[in-house]
Amino acid sequence: MQRVVAVVIMNAAMFAQSASPSCPADRPVDDMIAEVHKQQSKKKHRIGNPLPQVTCIWGWCLDHSRTPPTIPKPAPRVELPKGDDTRSMSASVQTNDCNRAMNMALEAAHDIEVGDYYFESQKYTAALLRYNDAVNDKPGDAAIHVRLGRVLEKLNQIPQAIEQYDTAQKLAGPQKWCSEAKSALLRLQRPPGS
């Protein structure tokens, strides 16, 4: 029986090595923010710049500087591969998709941080704008929807807040956010005077 278990473990390890790695853009936005803070803390001690304009985590970087837009060069002509090269093209497409998703996720994390600052400063309209930007970049993140629900409550937009909490509750994510969404829904949907 031990041989069978060893074979199964070996096959599972071989499968794990052959499977393509998941894209870190799928991680919760709070994990991204924590990782950014960790990286910034390391850089701050080395360089002394507490507000870098470039955010790098898990091998992806995003430049937050406000440089003027440039006219893009025409896209290079790409010839489609034939035969066995389709596998490498598929991997390339996956990498490009992950790069785009990671850039959007980093933008969402940045918007969340700025939105949280505005929320704590009681600048709810500004927070709402940043949270809306974040949810557009990363719509499947429960934490963003809960934050939207919170700020909509502060702005007395209760039906929209309920909608955001409901969305958050239906999404997969850390239990903390699903629990907060559920509690908020119970509180907001309670009949007046009960």
pLDDT at residue number 193: 65
94 pLDDT band, cuts 50/70/90, is low
Residue type (1 letter), 181: A
Secondary structure (3-state) at 77: coil
Output the pLDDT for position 112: 93
- Predicted confidence at residue 38, as pLDDT, reads 83
Residue 78 resides in a domain: no
Kindly state whether residue 9 falls inside one of the protein's structural domains. Answer: no
**Mean pLDDT of the 169-193 span:** 87
pLDDT digits (tens, 9 = 90+) for 45-64: 554 544 455 555 555 555 55
Span 19-29, average pLDDT = 72
Place of tokens 């949810």: 135
Please report whether residue 17 resides in a domain.
no
Q: Name the percent of the chain lying above pLDDT 90.
A: 37
Tell me what the mean pLDDT of segment 65-88 comes to: 48
pLDDT, averaged across the chain: 74
What number is the average pLDDT over the span 123-134? 95
Judged by DSSP in three states, 55 sits in strand
Mean pLDDT of 39-46: 66
In this predicted structure, what is the pLDDT of residue 3? Answer: 46
Residue 8: pLDDT over 50: no
Query: Using CB atoms within 10 A of its CB, is residue 25 exposed (0-12), middle (13-18) or buried (19+)?
Result: buried
Q: Is the pLDDT of residue 166 over 80?
A: yes
Q: How far is CA 24 from CA 32, 46, 82, 92, in A?
A: 9, 26, 30, 16
Q: What sign for the dihedral angle of Cα 50, 54, 58, 59?
A: negative
Kind plus residue range of the DSSP H or E element containing 33 = helix 29-47
CATH number, domain at 175? Answer: 1.25.40.10
Residue closest to 145 by CA, chosen among 119, 166, 175: 166
Q: Is residue 30 part of a domain?
A: yes
In angstroms, the CA 54 to CA 50 distance is: 11
Is 132 within the bounds of a domain?
yes
Q: CB of 184 within 8 A of CB of 145?
A: no
pLDDT at 155: 96
Tell how many helices (H) and how many strands (E) occur in the chain: 7, 2
Percent of the chain with pLDDT over 70: 60
CA distance 136 to 191: 32
Q: Which domain holds residue 136?
A: 22-67+87-188
For residue 113, being part of any structural domain is answered with: yes
Residue 178 falls inside a structural domain: yes
| The total number of structural domains that make up the chain | 1
Residue 32 falls within a domain, yes or no?
yes
